[in-house]
Amino acid sequence: MGIPTSAKPITFLITRDRPAAKAFYTGTLGFPLTHEDDFAAVFDLHGTMLRISTVPDHQPAPHTVLGWEIPDITATVTALRDKGVAFTLYEGFGQDKLGIWSPPGSTTKIAWFKDPDGNVLSLTQF
């Protein structure tokens, strides 16, 4: 037997500074904090649980660790930029002025940004 089809996923991130992470995920991204204990700050990402735990010497991975499928990437990028989010420009990708990239031969659009700990996050419009 594998994981039941009714099992809900839980995602995890690491922070060095929990107060900064909480401010970013609630104030900037708009996700409600549902619980906090000695081990993690827990957020509701529209039905998916995100647990952010503190590790003092955390070094972020260079790749995307969490992303969202969204219906209008231009509107979402613009709204987040208005809140102070800086989108990452990768040399050679050919992103537009907002930092949005379209893979060659595709209508998909992707933009990347980082949380206060440098964890790479993404937005994708299919």
Query: Hey, what are 125's tokens?
Result: 């419009």
Inside any domain, residue 1: no
Inside any domain, residue 27: yes
Give the count of domains, the chain.
Answer: 1
C-alpha to C-alpha distances, 27 to 9, 88, 105, nearest whole angstrom: 24, 20, 36
Nearest to 116 by CA among 57, 28, 40: 28
pLDDT of res. 1 = 84
Inside any domain, residue 89: yes
Q: What is the tens place of the pLDDT at every residue in 10-27?
A: 999 999 999 999 999 999
The confidence band for 47, taking pLDDT boundaries of 50, 70 and 90, is: very high
Cα-Cα-Cα-Cα dihedral sign, residues 21, 27, 85, 122: positive
Beta strands 10-15; 48-54: pairing state: parallel
Inside any domain, residue 97: yes
pLDDT of res. 114 = 98
| Domain at 16, CATH number | 3.10.180.10
Inside any domain, residue 119: yes
Q: What is the tens place of the pLDDT at every residue in 55-114?
A: 999 999 999 999 999 999 999 999 999 999 999 999 999 999 999 999 999 999 999 999
Inside any domain, residue 52: yes
CA 122 to CA 112: how far, in whole Å?
4
Inside any domain, residue 2: no
Q: Record the pTM.
A: 0.95
Query: Domain range spanning residue 88?
Result: 10-125
Inside any domain, residue 5: no
